[in-house]
Each structure stands twice: as structure tokens, then as C-alpha cells.
């Protein structure tokens, strides 16, 4: 006897309303250095994390925007960098290094509970316990500067090669960049709920 279930897509379909996770670490960058250090709490305003290197309603363009003269003032859609441990472990494995610390590559938030965090689409919202809401701009394209910061921790390896390999290995696994939709504070351990844009929700 045929049942509707036979026509279902194999595997569990997780409704967007059940995409929930947790903050496993928070980090902040001092002005002048993109690398971050762990903190217990982040105070986040419309400008971004208070006192962070990447704070600002606008920023200067760089190599990611080859269509602008370097240093052009543009809206800052890269206020926060968000990563997940599973993706960083996968990159480390492919690079044959024993670990890849989120602080080395300037992450501000490590989230747990989201499989393939980097695949959350642009326009997704992240609601944090305590009221902060971030809007996902999109995947953070891995660059050689971050790759070089990783290489600095593995002096036995060819630094240029490792930096270059990072760019390839980290594609679609280097997490997301986001900007502040609604200010708030977040503490380590806070719950997070993701809201996918209507256009991409499976019904």
C-alpha cells in the first residue's frame, strides 16, 4: 500500500524554526590587529562590538572590493565574524595541522549546534538570548592574511604555502560575516536561534 511517506525526501527535514544553537566562545579584536582574544561578554551596538577593530557603521574598502579604489568609504557589512568549531576542525584536518584556533583568524563568535554554519544564506537573522540580533551578510571569503596568521603557529611549515592552502581549504567553511540589526549584549553560553529568509525555507 502506497503512503505519502514513501514520497518524502530521505533524511530529516529540519524546519527553520528549529535551527537553534549556542554561543561557545566570544572574542574581541583590539584596534590595529584583526586577531581576537577571548572575552566573557560582548557589548554590541549598531556600530558593532564596542571597542573592536572591526567596529564602525562604515569601513574602508580593501582587496575584497577590487571594484573600488582601495580605501573607499563604504558601509560596514563585516562588523562581526562568526565561525563554528566543526568547520574549523575540518579545515585543520585538510591542512594537516593539529588545530585551528578561532582567535588566530579574527573570529568574534564561535557557535555550536549549526551543521555547516557557513551555508546559512545571506539575509538570515541570528537571534541571541539577551536581545542582540545579527543579520548575515554571507560567507567570509578566506584570505592569505588569515592564512599567514595560522602559519605563524606552525613554524616547521612553509608559511606561504600554508597560507595559500588555507584559502582553498577554508572555502565555504570559514564562517560568516554579519552586521547588527538590533543591539544587545551576549554572554558565553547564550542560546541562538536562526531565522532563514522566507525565499529559502523548505515548505
Rounded-to-integer distance, Cα 193 and Cα 185, Å: 15
Q: Which of 43, 77, 86, 112 binds a copy of itself (CB under 8 A)?
A: 77
Least Å from the CB of residue 10 to a copy of itself: 25
Cell of 122: 545571506
Q: Which of 62, 130, 148, 197 binds a copy of itself (CB under 8 A)?
A: 197
SS3 of 23, please?
A: strand
Question: By C-alpha distance, which of 111, 91, 110, 107 is closest to 99?
Answer: 91
User: Is position 57 an interface residue for a copy of itself (rule: CB under 8 A)?
Assistant: yes
- Residue 42's DSSP bridge partners are 186
Least Å from the CB of residue 124 to a copy of itself: 9
CA distances from 38 to 65, 106, 118, 134, 151 (A): 29, 11, 21, 20, 20
Residues 6 or more apart from 25 whose CB is under 8 A from it? 38, 102, 109, 110, 188
User: Is position 45 an interface residue for a copy of itself (rule: CB under 8 A)?
Assistant: no
- Residue 38's DSSP bridge partners are 27
- The interface mask with a copy of itself, positions 4-43, x = CB under 8 A, is ----------------------------------------
Least Å from the CB of residue 156 to a copy of itself: 33
Of the ranges 21-29, 103-111, 134-142, 162-170, which one interacts with a copy of itself (CB under 8 A)? 134-142
Of the ranges 26-34, 83-91, 160-168, 175-183, which one interacts with a copy of itself (CB under 8 A)? 175-183
User: Is position 133 an interface residue for a copy of itself (rule: CB under 8 A)?
Assistant: yes
- Residue 43's DSSP bridge partners are 185
Asked if residues 79 and 107 have their Cβ atoms less than 8 Å apart, the reply is no
Least Å from the CB of residue 4 to a copy of itself: 26
Amino acid at each position: 500500500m502506497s503512503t505519502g511517506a514513501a514520497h518524502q525526501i530521505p533524511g530529516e527535514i529540519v524546519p527553520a524554526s528549529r535551527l537553534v544553537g549556542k554561543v561557545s566562545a566570544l572574542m574581541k579584536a583590539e584596534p590595529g590587529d584583526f586577531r581576537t582574544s577571548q572575552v566573557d561578554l560582548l557589548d554590541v551596538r549598531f556600530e558593532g562590538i564596542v571597542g573592536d577593530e572591526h567596529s564602525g557603521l562604515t569601513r574602508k574598502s580593501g582587496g575584497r572590493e577590487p571594484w573600488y579604489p582601495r580605501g573607499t568609504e563604504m558601509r560596514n557589512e563585516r562588523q562581526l565574524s562568526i565561525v563554528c568549531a566543526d568547520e574549523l576542525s575540518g579545515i585543520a584536518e585538510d591542512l594537516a595541522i593539529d588545530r585551528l584556533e578561532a582567535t588566530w583568524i579574527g573570529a568574534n563568535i564561535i557557535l555550536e549546534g549549526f551543521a555547516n554554519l557557513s551555508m546559512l544564506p545571506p539575509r538570515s537573522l541570528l537571534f541571541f538570548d539577551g536581545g542582540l540580533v545579527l543579520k548575515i551578510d554571507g560567507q567570509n571569503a578566506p584570505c592569505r592574511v588569515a592564512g599567514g596568521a595560522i602559519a605563524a603557529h606552525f613554524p616547521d611549515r612553509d608559511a606561504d604555502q600554508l597560507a595559500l592552502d588555507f584559502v582553498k581549504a577554508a572555502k565555504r567553511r570559514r564562517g560568516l560575516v554579519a552586521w547588527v540589526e538590533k543591539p544587545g549584549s551576549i554572554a558565553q553560553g547564550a542560546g541562538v536561534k536562526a531565522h532563514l529568509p522566507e525565499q529559502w525555507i523548505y515548505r
